[in-house]
């Protein structure tokens, strides 16, 4: 519960100009006596309800993880400029330019824009607002909201009008559950991305039909913004008790597209454009096309549905399986499928009729009707991948028993094809749970499957074991910012080159039900421990945060490794649990000598990395030495002058060129990691790239590179004075090209992921054969 708003907080918001009473009242569904009362209501209630005070300030965007938990209101935090707040995007409609040095500024970029540019200036849109047309202004946004408020939804019904004529080549995207502003904006962004031009292919023509509750106040802001979209968007209000089947019928009746794509606001397009969908529908000869759908944990949500041999309930095919563990055919027929579904508009209109489920299994029912009508299959295309976030919305199932009965009545004989599908995938599934009609209010108990293999495996040497690499990464785009993402991906590729079958698990799917398919679980120990399946060979590789590892945790594993010579030795002695040193390494396919120059870093000391929220000594002291420095990473503004911050990101695929081109490639370690001998993977990456490494000293470097040790050793420092002295000498005093090439060859051979993977496979095979494992 928000505390009572203070008078000073109200005055601060009012004087900032970052509060639009009309905008706020539209979300609150109320009228306030004056702006001060509206601000007070926002500070005490509106923020926690998810409402924004201004089109250019969205608390959820400004503080994605903490917008509803911080004691201080996010808008107050922003106006004060605390914690680098002024360098953060505040709304999809406002992405500030690179801020430079904001420490001496007397107002935020947002306040400056409002005061200096005014309502007629084009808004600096964020990348996820690319679905809006070019040149949108604040005046446009406000007028769109007023139009939405002036045009109540109850006069926008389809009525009994004749079906709309269709336009060849046009796709009508029908979104059935736009209940909130976030639903609207996220799905319009997803559709714009899927319809984008690609290569020599122009953008796919689309129209979007948003089916929103007639009482759509929670979505009013999003629906207003939809008026400013690049593509044609129509809002179709529907009564609160309208069924999904009826909504689809109405939308198909008014759709102008030759094809219709039915989807949820919670779906995203992960792989495949709308043109790819259309091509798949034509080339597969299908009645409807469905993608592989991944859940929020990035496990398979469904690849269509199948039926038990004697059962009547549809079961999500391969639900809960890791997608990387499946040998996907290019496309395959399935008995039916839920949304998303791409079909011919004429066929969707033709299969309308009574006796259909209202919500539960409504799309599965539709897909099966389409297949029967066209006498062609429903097809899943493996190159089309969609995501789906958590459920909810205004289409919640309120009468499951009625829907179950309607489905059972319509499909007394379930569609064929399940048995053939099991043969195609080499499966002998075991179906468990209860018939849904017997427990309609307990969906967690309904029929489900264990996807057991039917194949007798003939394993070559080395045996092709099934490995699951577990990490603490979030199962979304944030994972790409984690070092574990690249580490796990490179290790998986190296294991696959040794004939192993490998999947990488994110934090949320740590305890996935299909762990029974794994032979080996390897935990890359970072921020958290893992849950371990019962019947597998278990490995722990401590690559960071060793202070969090306990003897109890180590004892749970069959084999233990750590990226430190000293920590492995000391821990083995202290707890009597063998821990083998297995240091971090480099990806030899990505880090090698690449002499394509990066002119912007030539002659400079370069650091690629985020600030970690601290004034990292290697960066601060390098700048203080007077040496030209280029830093790439985030959250550096309050620690370094603007002129040395060269960018926020360097793609991992080309960072080798930066290391090779620079006069120095800087590196440092977290103090605890340095003290415990955990050598950073950047040391290996820089040397593999032929870069001139300058790093803080860490125990073990001498042993690692002794066979190719440069005459003066690696350039290292322990104090600011030593760092300044090394920089003053210049890198040519430490490294010549022949030495750099020798270091690169040695590191890529001896300290690459292929070498580490070979150790892991050898140890696992020995352990599974019953050999005794020693330190």
Worst-scoring range by mean pLDDT, 19-28, 470-479, 546-555, 625-634? 470-479
Q: How confident is the model at residue 710 (pLDDT cuts 50, 70, 90)?
A: confident
Helices (H), 135-240: 138-150, 181-194, 220-226
Q: What is the pLDDT of residues 673-683, one digit of tens each?
A: 888 889 999 99
* Cα dihedral 174, 446, 242, 409 sign: positive
Going by their DSSP bridges, the two strands 232-238 and 288-294 should be labelled as: unpaired
The dihedrals phi and psi of 430, each to the nearest 5 degrees, come to -110, 120
173 by Cβ neighbours in 10 Å (0-12 / 13-18 / 19+) ranks as buried
d(CA 63, CA 512): 30
pTM above 0.75, yes or no: yes
What is the model's pLDDT at position 396? 52
CB 393 within 8 A of CB 263: no
How many residues in the chain?
A: 775
Identify which of 156, 196, 67 has the alpha carbon closest to the alpha carbon of residue 77: 67
Identify which of 744, 756, 631 has the alpha carbon closest to the alpha carbon of residue 686: 744
Half-sphere exposure of 477 (CA within 13 A, CB side): 3
Token pair 């004691």 in the structure block, residue: 71
Residue 731 pLDDT more than 90?
yes
What is the model's pLDDT at position 638? 78
CB 657 within 8 A of CB 631: no
d(CA 184, CA 196): 18
d(CA 261, CA 278): 10
653 by Cβ neighbours in 10 Å (0-12 / 13-18 / 19+) ranks as exposed
d(CA 731, CA 691): 10
What is the model's pLDDT at position 708? 85
Distance of CA 363 to the CA centre of its chain: 26
CB 465 within 8 A of CB 519: yes
Higher pLDDT, 686 or 477: 686
What is the model's pLDDT at position 160? 61
CB within 8 Å of 239: residues ≥ 6 apart: 214
Higher pLDDT, 638 or 430: 430
Beta bridge partners of 693: 665
Structure tokens at 270: 């992960």
Mean pLDDT of 522-544: 84
CB 702 within 8 A of CB 508: no
CB 292 within 8 A of CB 380: yes
Token pair 């606001």 in the structure block, residue: 265
| Count of C-beta atoms within a 10 Å radius of residue 285 | 12
Higher pLDDT, 152 or 354: 354
d(CA 576, CA 176): 60
Q: How confident is the model at residue 4 (pLDDT cuts 50, 70, 90)?
A: low
What is the model's pLDDT at position 775? 45
What is the model's pLDDT at position 684? 95
Q: How confident is the model at residue 773 (pLDDT cuts 50, 70, 90)?
A: very low
d(CA 79, CA 16): 8
d(CA 323, CA 300): 6
What is the model's pLDDT at position 97? 72
- 693-696 β-sheet, strand order: 645-647, 629-632, 605-608, 664-667, 693-696, 715-717
């Amino acid at each position: 519960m928000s505390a009572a708003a203070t008078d000073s907080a109200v005055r601060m918001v009012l004087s900032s100009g970052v509060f639009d009473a009309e905008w706020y009242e539209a979300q609150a569904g109320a009228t306030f006596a004056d702006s001060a009362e509206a601000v007070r209501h926002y500070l005490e209630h509106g923020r926690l309800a998810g409402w924004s005070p201004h089109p250019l300030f969205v608390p959820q965007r400004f503080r994605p993880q903490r917008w509803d938990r911080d004691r201080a209101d996010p808008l107050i935090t922003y106006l004060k400029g605390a914690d680098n707040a002024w360098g953060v995007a505040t709304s999809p409609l406002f992405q500030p330019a690179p801020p430079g040095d904001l420490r001496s500024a007397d107002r935020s970029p947002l306040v400056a824009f409002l005061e200096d540019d005014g309502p007629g200036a084009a808004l600096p849109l964020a990348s996820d607002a690319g679905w809006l047309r070019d040149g949108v202004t604040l005046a446009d946004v406000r007028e769109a909201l007023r139009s939405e408020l002036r045009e109540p939804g109850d006069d926008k019904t389809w009525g009994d009008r004749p079906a709309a004529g269709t336009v060849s080549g046009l796709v009508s995207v029908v979104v059935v559950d736009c209940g909130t502003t976030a639903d609207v904006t996220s799905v319009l962004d997803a559709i714009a991305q899927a319809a984008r031009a690609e290569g020599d292919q122009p953008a796919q023509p689309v129209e979007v039909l948003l089916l929103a509750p007639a009482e759509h106040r929670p979505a009013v802001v999003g629906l207003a913004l939809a008026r400013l979209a690049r593509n044609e968007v129509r809002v179709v209000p529907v009564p609160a008790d309208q069924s999904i089947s009826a909504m689809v019928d109405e939308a198909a009746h008014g759709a102008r597209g030759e094809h219709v794509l039915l989807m949820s606001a919670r779906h995203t397009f992960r792989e495949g454009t709308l043109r790819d969908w259309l091509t798949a529908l034509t080339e597969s000869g299908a009645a409807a096309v469905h993608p592989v759908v991944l859940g929020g944990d990035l496990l398979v949500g469904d690849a269509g549905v199948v039926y038990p041999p004697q059962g009547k309930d549809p079961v999500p095919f391969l639900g809960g399986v890791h997608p990387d563990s499946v040998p996907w055919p290019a496309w395959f027929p399935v008995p039916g499928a839920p949304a998303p579904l791409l079909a011919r508009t004429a066929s969707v209109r033709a299969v309308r009729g009574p006796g259909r489920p209202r919500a539960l299994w409504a799309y599965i029912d539709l897909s099966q009707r389409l297949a029967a009508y066209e006498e062609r299959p429903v097809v899943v295309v493996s190159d089309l991948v969609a995501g789906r976030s958590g459920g909810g919305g205004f289409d919640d199932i309120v009468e499951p028993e009625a829907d179950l009965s309607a489905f059972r009545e319509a499909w007394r004989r379930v569609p064929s094809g399940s048995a053939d599908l099991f043969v195609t995938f080499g499966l002998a599934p075991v179906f468990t749970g209860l018939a849904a009609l017997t427990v309609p209010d307990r969906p967690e108990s309904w029929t489900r499957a264990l996807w057991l293999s039917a194949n007798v495996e003939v394993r070559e040497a080395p045996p092709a074991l099934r490995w699951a690499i577990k990490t603490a990464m979030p199962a979304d785009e944030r994972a790409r910012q984690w070092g574990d993402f690249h580490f796990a991906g490179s290790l998986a590729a190296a294991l696959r080159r040794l004939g192993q079958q490998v999947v990488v698990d994110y934090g949320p799917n740590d305890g996935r039900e299909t762990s029974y398919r794994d032979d080996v679980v390897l935990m890359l120990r970072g921020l958290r421990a893992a849950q371990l399946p019962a019947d597998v060979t278990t490995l722990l590789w401590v690559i960071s945060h060793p202070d969090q590892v306990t003897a109890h945790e180590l004892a749970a594993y069959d084999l233990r490794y750590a990226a430190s010579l000293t920590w492995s030795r000391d821990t083995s002695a202290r707890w009597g649990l063998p821990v083998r040193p297995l240091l971090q390494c480099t990806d030899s396919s990505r880090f090698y000598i690449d002499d394509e120059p990066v002119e912007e870093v030539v002659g400079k000391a370069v650091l690629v990395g985020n600030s970690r929220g601290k004034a990292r000594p290697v960066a601060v002291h390098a700048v203080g030495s007077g040496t030209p420095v280029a830093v790439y990473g985030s959250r550096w503004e309050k620690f370094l002058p603007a002129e040395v911050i060269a960018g926020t990101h360097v793609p991992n695929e080309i960072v080798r060129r930066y290391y090779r081109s620079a006069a120095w490639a800087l590196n440092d370690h977290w103090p605890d990691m340095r003290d415990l001998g955990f050598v950073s993977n950047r040391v290996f990456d820089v040397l593999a790239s032929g870069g001139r490494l300058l790093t803080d000293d860490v125990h073990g470097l001498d042993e690692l590179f002794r066979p190719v040790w440069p005459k003066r050793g690696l350039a290292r420092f322990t104090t600011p004075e030593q760092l300044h002295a090394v920089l003053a000498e210049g890198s040519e005093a430490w490294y010549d090209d022949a030495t750099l090439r020798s270091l690169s060859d040695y590191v890529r051979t001896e300290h690459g992921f292929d070498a580490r993977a070979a150790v892991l496979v050898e140890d696992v095979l020995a352990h599974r054969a019953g050999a005794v494992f020693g330190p």
